[in-house]
Structure 1
C-alpha cells in the first residue's frame, strides 16, 4: 500500500471534487482516480459513492477516514523524527542562489568546503530578484549571486558582509560557425540589425546588458528575436544559431564552449563578480563556521 493513496483519499475527502483534489496533489485526474481505485482494492471495499457530485463517502469510507488520517500523521511524524536525528550532528544551512549559479558555482562552493564544515545545505533557487528578496526576508542564511557594485541592490549595505568568491565576465556569445557569425552582422546597423537573444525586462542580467550599452562607445542596432529571463534557456537558443546573446562566462560549460564563443570586442563585455553575502551580525555556529571556511578558501586561491 502506497502512503500517497491515503493522502489522495484525504485530499478528496476535504475537497469533495476529483478535479480539484487531483490539481492539489499535482497529478492528472486519470492518475488520481487510479490511485483511489487502488486504495479501494487494497481496503477491499468501495470508499466513494460512484457518480455522486459532490463526492460522498460510503459507510466504509466514513469508517476508514479517521484511521487514514491517523496513519498518515503517524508516518509523517516518524519520518520527521528520523530526519531530525540525521541532522542532529550536521546542522542545515540555507543558501539562496540563482538558477545559473546553482548549476555551476554552488558545486564549486561545495568542493571548497568539503571536509571543512559539518553542515548540510538547503538550496533555494530562482531568478536573481526572487532569491535576493527571499534572502533579505530572512528565508536564507547566505546569498550566492552575481554582483556589480555599479548597479543598485538591496544587499549593498553596511548590514551585509560581502565576500567575492571569484570573478566572472558578462559578454556577447554566438555560434562559432563563421558563416552564421558573418550573417548576424554584429553589432548591426540601422538597415541590418543583428538578432538579439535577450533577457526579459525584469531580469537582473537585463540590467547588466543595459549597463553594457551605457558604457559602449556606440549603440548597437538589434532586433529581439527571443526573450527569456533564464540564461540557461538563452544559452541553448544561442547554441542553435538563432542570434547573439549576452551570457556570464560561468554559464558556458565545456560542451557549450565547443559550439559558441564570445563575439565582438572588449567594449561589449562587463566584468562582474560572483559573491556570497551574509548578515553582518552573530549567526548560528554552523553558519559562522561555513563562512570562515569559505573566506579562508577564497583567500587561499588568490
Structure 2
C-alpha cells in the first residue's frame, strides 16, 4: 500500500538532490529515508532516482511520479487540515498513547497529578505497541506519546525506525528493570545470575524490537562475566514475562513499578546484583508541529512541573527493601 510519506520523501530528494539534506528535512535518518525510498520504488516497480550521479537526479519515471504526487499530496494535506480543524473544534480531550505496561503502572498515579495541574480538561489514553504509538503520533491521532527510554541512551542515536528520537520530550518519571526469579524453598532465587559461572540460566526475554529489550541487552552487555543465558521465551509485553516468571520458568528483567508487590510478598526475589539493573526514564514526546490550544497548555504544564512529577512518581520505589538489601 502506498504511504503518503514516501511521496513527500521524493519531493525532498528532488529539492535538495542530496540524501543527507533530504533526510534532515524529513526528520528521519539517511538510512530511514533510503528504506522508504526503496519501498516507493518497489511500489512503483521502477527506479525513481539515479544513484550513480552526485548530486542526485530523478529518473524520468521519478520526474513523472513527482509531478503527479505534488498535486496529490497538496490536495490530501489540505483536506486533512480542514478535517482536523473541524474535528478539533468538536473534540475536547487531550490524547495520549503509551505502551501497555505504562498505562497500567504509570498513568494511574500520574494522570490525577496532571489533571490537578490542568483543571477539568479530559484526558484520553490509548494503549498499544510502541510502533502503534509512534504511528498514532505521526498521523496526528494522538497529541503525546509516553514511553520508556533507556536512561543510558543518547536520544539522538536512538533507533531510526521510530521517530521519537527526533521529537521534543520531557522527563516525567523513572523506573528500572530488575532481574527477578521465583524463590526456592530457602528463599533464594531459583534462577540465579552469578558472575563467571558456566551454568546456564533459563532466560525470559523481550522481543528485540522492544524498548525494554534493548535496555536489558545493554545491561547484559555491560557485564562481560555474566552467567550464560539460555533464551526459552520471548514476549513484547512485560506483563507476559511477569506471568512466566511467576510460574518459575526462568529469570526476567521486569519493571520495578509492576513487580514491587510481588517482591514485598516474596513471590519474586532479585536474581542478580544491582549492577545488572537497567535504569529507565519515562518521557512524554510530542511531534514537532503546532497542536491545539488545549494540548499546548498541557505541554507547558508538564514542562514546567516535569521534575516535580518525576520525584513524586519515583519516590515510592527508591528505598524498597528485600531481605535487608536495597533492591
Q: Are the aligned partners of 1:169 and 1:248 in contact in 2 as well (CA < 8 Å)?
A: yes
Q: CA deviation at 1:109?
A: 2.4
SS at match of 1:290: helix
SS at match of 1:287: helix
Residues 1:289 and 2:291 are matched in the alignment: no
Alpha-carbon distance in 1 for matches of 2:189, 2:196:
13
Report the RMSD for the aligned CA atoms in angstroms: 2.7
Structure whose CA Rg is larger: 1
Q: Of the candidates 224, 234, 237, which is equivalent to residue 227 of structure 1?
A: 234
Distance 1:184 1:299, change over 3 A: closer
Q: CA deviation at 1:152?
A: 0.9
Q: CA deviation at 1:108?
A: 2.2
Task: Indicate the residue corresponding to 2:164 in structure 1.
Answer: 155
Q: CA deviation at 1:287?
A: 0.4
Map 1:61-100 to 2 at 5 A. Answer: 91-100=92-101
The range that moved more, 242-251 or 109-118, is: 109-118
Residues 1:120 and 2:122 are matched in the alignment: yes
Alpha-carbon distance in 1 for matches of 2:220, 2:198:
19
Deviation readout 1:247-281 (Å, 9 max, x if unpaired) = 12222242564211332112211211011011244
Deviation readout 1:85-120 (Å, 9 max, x if unpaired) = xx96x7111211000001011122211123333322
Residues 1:270 and 2:278 are matched in the alignment: yes
Residues 1:107 and 2:108 are matched in the alignment: yes
Alpha-carbon distance in 1 for matches of 2:188, 2:258:
20
Q: Of the candidates 244, 248, 258, which is equivalent to residue 251 of structure 2?
A: 244
Alpha-carbon distance in 2 for matches of 1:100, 1:281:
27
SS at match of 1:155: helix
Residues 1:204 and 2:211 are matched in the alignment: yes
Q: CA deviation at 1:205?
A: 1.8
SS at match of 1:184: coil
TM-score of the superposed pair, with normalisation by structure 1: 0.63
Alpha-carbon distance in 2 for matches of 1:136, 1:189:
46
Alpha-carbon distance in 1 for matches of 2:253, 2:139:
30
Q: CA deviation at 1:230?
A: 0.8
Distance 1:174 1:282, change over 3 A: same
- Structure 1: stretches of 5+ with no match in the other structure: 1-83
Q: Of the candidates 263, 269, 287, which is equivalent to residue 261 of structure 1?
A: 269
Distance 1:251 1:183, change over 3 A: closer
Task: Indicate the residue corresponding to 1:215 in structure 2.
Answer: 222
Alpha-carbon distance in 1 for matches of 2:134, 2:106:
17
Task: Indicate the residue corresponding to 1:51 in structure 2.
Answer: none
Alpha-carbon distance in 1 for matches of 2:196, 2:187:
17
Q: CA deviation at 1:135?
A: 1.8
Task: Indicate the residue corresponding to 2:145 in structure 1.
Answer: 143
Distance 1:200 1:188, change over 3 A: farther
Aligned length: 214
Q: Of the candidates 129, 132, 140, which is equivalent to residue 130 of structure 1?
A: 132
TM-score of the superposed pair, with normalisation by structure 2: 0.58
The range that moved more, 224-233 or 96-105, is: 224-233
